[in-house]
Structure formats: structure tokens, C-alpha cells
Structure 1
Amino acid sequence: MTALLPEGFHDRLPPFADAAAALEARVLEAARRHGYERVDPPLAEFAEGLGSRLKAGGLHDAVRFVDPVSQRTLAIRPDLTAQVARIAATRMGHHPRPVRLSYAGSVLKLRASQLAPARELRQIGCELIGLDSVAAAGEVVGVAVAALAAAGTGPVSIDFTLPDLVDTLAAGPLPVRDIAGLRDRLDAKDAGGVAALAPDYLPLVAAAGSFATAMARLRAFDAHGVLTSRLDALARIAAALGDGVRLTLDPTERHGFEYQSWLGFSLFADGIAGEVGRGGTYTIVHENGSEEPATGFSIYADALVGQAGGGERRRLFLPLATPAAQAAALREAGWVTVAALEADDTPEAQLCTHVWREGQAVPLGG
């Protein structure tokens, strides 16, 4: 027997587990108030179906195994988006569009990086399925901001990207032979590599930064007007967010946006290193081959709980023989009560912050 866990896995102990559950409830409640109803997909599904539900795939870094019952390959979900897409396309295919769904659950990655070693993550999110419009995308971005506010983060920053930018330009006025190579060089901000592959795309390397500056550079670059509708849509989404959210734009960022279409965005919060969430537009593939647009976002709960420090413990110790009615009244008033079960039990042993004494909740040491 060993207490060690596999690399990338960890136990969540008190008070962090309580804080994580409370945070998840607040985020889902914020989504519910915007009309997003919760679904709860299973941990594993048939790999073939899950991998084909999103137009650009959806099983990156999935752990696969053979089901001893069906003898078919199953996949443990590395992301919940494809599962929500399946539910919307099948079980809720009859539902009027758009359908708004929220979710929360654990996901498992096949591998992790040194900078982000966790392989099991807690994911919370929303998906708006059946409508591809500026209004739909703007709503989802707004709900993401509201969800982070409900989680108790500091000021939020959003970094927008245009995942299909190179494909759009290459199919129009700026054809290029090696699209995949160009995407990689632009994503890496490799000016020399971009110049060698497609010098016409070189201005895109510098078209990143504060939202207003990046937008001006992109509009100047877009002499053929191919990007006008996308840029106008971005401007409308940004304007609806107001001044309370800091905005940046990196139009050629591709890492983590493998299945997004015309819009992608990363979420950041003050005091937290790295992304706290990500979202964008994408396409769902139905059983008959037809396609349906969708927009959504996911929040990585572990980063937010780590920032919260596990929350504040506020536990009231009830001495032995405290009347049950009194204890119930205290819980109704919002206290977490811990009852003594033996005569020599102490509030310190039960990690309590207060003790019930002479009809009052007295702070320890008070």
C-alpha cells in the first residue's frame, strides 16, 4: 500500500474541496441566471463518436481503453465540449435553437507539460448551440465575464484571437503554399520564418497588443476588405463589454484553439498566473453529416480555487449536550457547527474558530 498518486493527480483536502464546490455552485448559478441549463455527461464515451462530434476533432490528449463489456474503444473525456455537443445534437436535437447549456466536471489529459503538470482538471463552462451571430458570441463572452465575477476573481482581461484568419486570407487575396507552416510561424511570432514562407503576411506579426492598437493595424493590413465583417464583429463584442474589462488582441494565436472557427478568446484574472479560461466559436457535426454552429467557454476551476486560498474557515464548536434545537437554529443562521461527541473534546481539536458559550458565539481566545 502506498499513499503516492500517479504523476499529475492530487487529492483536494479541506478547506479547498469545500471552496471548490462553493465556487462551482456560484459559477453555475451565474450561468443559470442567463438561461444556461446544466447537463451532466458521463466520464467516458465511445472514442469514435466523441472524436468525430466536433468538426476539427475533440480527442486531443484523450486516455483510451478497451471496454470489457462492448469490446469497443472508450475515451475518458479530455474536455467536456464535445460531450455537450453530442447531447445538443442527439438527445436535445429536437430543442428549439439556440439551446443554452452549462456543465461542470472532471476531465483527464493523457499528458501534461512541466509548466502545467496536472492531468486531472475541473472544468466549468457554457455552450450556446445553434446560432452563429455577433449577438450570440457577445452573449457568451459576457456570460464568461459574469461567471468569473461570481467566482470572486479580481479584474478580468480578455485576449481575442481569429483562429481561421490564415485560412480565410489564403483562400482569398493572399494564397500561400504551406498554410500549416505559416500558421506555426505566425503563432510563434517568427518574423523571419513568416518572411520566408509568405512575406505578405509579415504585418500580422506586429498586429498584436492592446485591442484598439491591434484593430487599427489589422484594418490597415486588410486592404482587400476580407476581414471587415470579422473585425466589425469584434468591435461590437468589445464595445458591449464596457470599460470594466481589459482587452487585447492577438489575431494569429492558435495554441489551444484547434477547433475554434472565426472567434477565440482567452480569459485572465488579476493575481492568477496564466489563463483561467478559454472560449470561442466552433462547429458541431451531426450524425447525418450536417453541421451546426456553436459558441462556448470553459473555466479552469483549479486555478481559481488556488487563488482563493481555500476560503475562510468559520466553524462553531458546540459543547457536549448543546440542545439540538439550538444547534439547528445556529445552522439556520449560517453557522457551520461542530458538536462535541465526548466530554474531553475541544474546539482546537475540531479546528473551530468560535465556541458556543453562555448563549453567544465567542471567538477562540476571546
Structure 2
Amino acid sequence: MTIAPGLLPEGLRDRLPPQAEAASRLMHRVIVAIGRHGYARVMPPLAEFEESLVGRLKSGRAQDLLRMVDPVSQRMLALRPDITAQIGRIAATRMGHVPRPLRLAYGGPVIKLRATQLRPERELMQAGAELIGHDGIAAVAEILRVALDALRAAGVRDITIDLTLPDLVETLAGGALPIPPARVPAIRALLDAKDAGGLAGADAAAYLPLLAAAGPIEAALERLRALDVGGALDTRLAAVEAIAATVGADVALTLDPTERHGFEYQSWIGFSLFGGGLSGEIGRGGTYTILHPDGREEPAVGFSLFLDPLVDAGLGVEPARRVFLPLGHDSDDGVKLRAEGWTTIAALAETDEPVGCTHILRQGQPQPL
């Protein structure tokens, strides 16, 4: 089968000017904003042994992995679909001796095995931060502040945070709303699908009110507190309320207590991030558990931002200041202009035109075209 020239695999694409520059610019802004909170950047590899990617986070699964055999070691490699698991590996091994809390930042491409209708791209640019050693209220509040600062640095406005309680069903199933352990996955699936009819069954009807609890944070917390669960959620809801109080009034807060899509390894709290004028979520995070080689479990909390929707929306693109340097110009003039922040385009022949330039060099000074 002949492949058409320039054809790329489904879900992969070239970034051309000016979007390629915008993506690089946004990554720099986000990483700098995260770093100002004390998060040191690490750069894990794009691929590593499969077992390292799937065995470091508690409840993490071998899904969405693009695999290949390493010709050197003859072991199975996988391209990372997410960088968080790699940060967990680094924290548990290479930096296992570093005092906690450990604050790490990262940024780079990830590869998905399959695209989705909401996100047709398989290669994505991801940036984020992980706070390792703590997963309490103060740690979650800090991570949310860092995420908000990073999004604002990228130019995102009208930010919304949608909180969720990923282990809510397990918490209730073991006590206040008992169901057999074997039925927990089915109940979670019904809640994920917002299937009120399915939840009306005999052993699941008690979970039906959870669907109606989703909405703005104040109303959602009130509905959850009204549920007859014997105070099983009091501590959890008080923590959510305390975290919400640390978020500025310019950020909209919602709560969907049963949302689990994309929160497979998160523990007691998770969140999705949205921005005004941007389609779909632009970030996700929450608390989770890192597994150490000796079996020890360590709490952590973090977030990942998806930069591609920001680039597609035009963020990160800056007006060009491009000056055309005619043939025979003084090279010192070009050096001076570049030091001042200009982009210089030098003529290679007398017939060259200042295509794409905003200025032309005349008598040692840039003149508007």
C-alpha cells in the first residue's frame, strides 16, 4: 500500500508557524509560573519499560499504552500516555532520599494509544506539577493555586474548577450505603453514565440522589449533606468546603461527586479545569498514592495541563516584529536589532522581497512597511 506524501498516522499532526512558536511560548510561561512556587523541573524520557509506567501509581492500569519491543534489552517498552506515573517513579527511586514535601514540575509530549471524539489528537503537549509527601487540605489548596497561576500565565481567563470525589462509591459501599464489593464497579459505571434508570434498581436506588448533587459548589455541598448517610461524608465535605474557600472569587467552582472519567488512580479528591472560550477540559488533577519498591505507600497531589487546546484557541501567538535586511546591509545593525528583540530576515539576492516583514532597514533604522 502506497502512503500519500506527507500523510501522518491518525491523531498525529505537524505544528506549523505561528502555532509551533505559540506552543513553545506557552510551555515556557507555564513552567516558569509553576517554578515560582518552588517546583523544580524534571525531564523523564518519552518511553520506558512498560512495568515502570503501570506499577508506580496505586490503582493505575495498563491502558492507553502504545507498546514496542526494545531491540537492546528485548523487553517491552511503552510510550508515555501521561507523565504523572513517571514522576511517581522518579520520586520513589531516584529521589526517594530527598526530604518531603517534594515539589516537581514537568512538561513535554505524551502519546495516546487511541483518540476520542472530544480529543481527536493522539500526541499532546502536557505540563504540570506534583507535590509528593502530602495530600491534605493545604497540599490540595496549594496545587490548585499553582494550576491557576499557570493557566493565567498562559492567558486563560474565566477559569472553572469542577471538583469530584473519585472514591465516593467505595467509601459509601463499605458502610453507609452497603453493597456487595462485586457490585461496586457496576454502580460506578451507572454513575459515570448518569444512568438514573439503571440506578433505580433494588440495590442501587440509594445512590440515585448522588446524581442530583452535581452543580455549583454551595448547592452541591448542601445536597450532599442532606443525604441520609449517617455522617459518613462529614469530614470529606468539610475538606472540600475548606479547599473551596481558598479559591479566589474570580474562579467558578462546581462539584460533581460521582465523576470518574479520567480519575482512575485519584483517591479522595480530583478536579478538572476549564477556561472561557475553550472547548473541553484543559487540565486535570487530584490526590493519589505512589507505590515504593519496598511496598510503602506515599500520598501525593498534582495536576496536568493540556496545552493543545490553548494553542488551537490562538493563545501564545504574539504580533511579529520582523525587519527585512536588504542585501549588503551592515551586519552590526542586524546584531543590534536582534538584541533589541527584533526578528531579522536577511535578503539573499537583489530580487528578494520583504515577504512577511513588518519593517525594513533603512539608514540603520527599522522603518514600517
Q: Same fold (TM over 0.5)?
A: yes
Deviation at 1:127, TM superposition (A): 0.5
Question: 1:47, 1:68 → 2: CA distance?
Answer: 14
Alignment of 1:11-160 (within 5 A): 11-160=14-163
| Residue 352 of structure 1: aligned partner | 357
Letter in 2 for 1:314: R
Alignment of 1:127-276 (within 5 A): 127-177=130-180, 178-196=183-201, 197-221=203-227, 223-276=229-282
Instruction: List, as ranges, runs of 4+ consecutive aligned residues in structure 1 with deviation greater than 4 Å.
Output: none
Deviation at 1:361, TM superposition (A): 2.8
Question: 1:247, 1:222 → 2: CA distance?
Answer: 25
Deviations 1:110-147 (A, max 9, x none): 11123321111111111001112100011001111110
Letter in 2 for 1:186: L
Structure 2: 5+ residue stretches without partners: none
Deviates more, 1:219-228 or 1:54-63: 219-228
Question: 1:239, 1:210 → 2: CA distance?
Answer: 14
Question: 1:320, 1:237 → 2: CA distance?
Answer: 62
Question: 1:324, 1:290 → 2: CA distance?
Answer: 62
> How many aligned positions are there?
362
Deviation at 1:358, TM superposition (A): 3.7
Letter in 1 for 2:269: L
Structure 1: 5+ residue stretches without partners: none
SS at match of 1:262: coil
| Residue 296 of structure 1: aligned partner | 302
SS at match of 1:244: coil
CA RMSD of aligned residues (A): 1.4
Alignment of 1:310-321 (within 5 A): 311=317, 312-321=319-328
Question: 2:323, 2:62 → 1: CA distance?
Answer: 47
Question: 2:121, 2:228 → 1: CA distance?
Answer: 41
Deviation at 1:272, TM superposition (A): 0.5
Q: TM-score, normalised by structure 2?
A: 0.95
Identity across aligned pairs (percent)?
Answer: 59
Question: 1:360, 1:220 → 2: CA distance?
Answer: 71
The alpha-carbon distance between structure 1 residues 159 and 309, as it changes in their structure 2 partners (threshold 3 A), is: closer
The alpha-carbon distance between structure 1 residues 152 and 359, as it changes in their structure 2 partners (threshold 3 A), is: same
Deviates more, 1:190-199 or 1:304-313: 304-313
Paired residues of 2:176 and 2:229 also in contact (CA < 8 A) = no
SS at match of 1:48: helix
Q: TM-score, normalised by structure 1?
A: 0.96
Question: 2:217, 2:228 → 1: CA distance?
Answer: 16
Deviation at 1:58, TM superposition (A): 4.7
Question: 1:201, 1:236 → 2: CA distance?
Answer: 25
SS at match of 1:9: coil
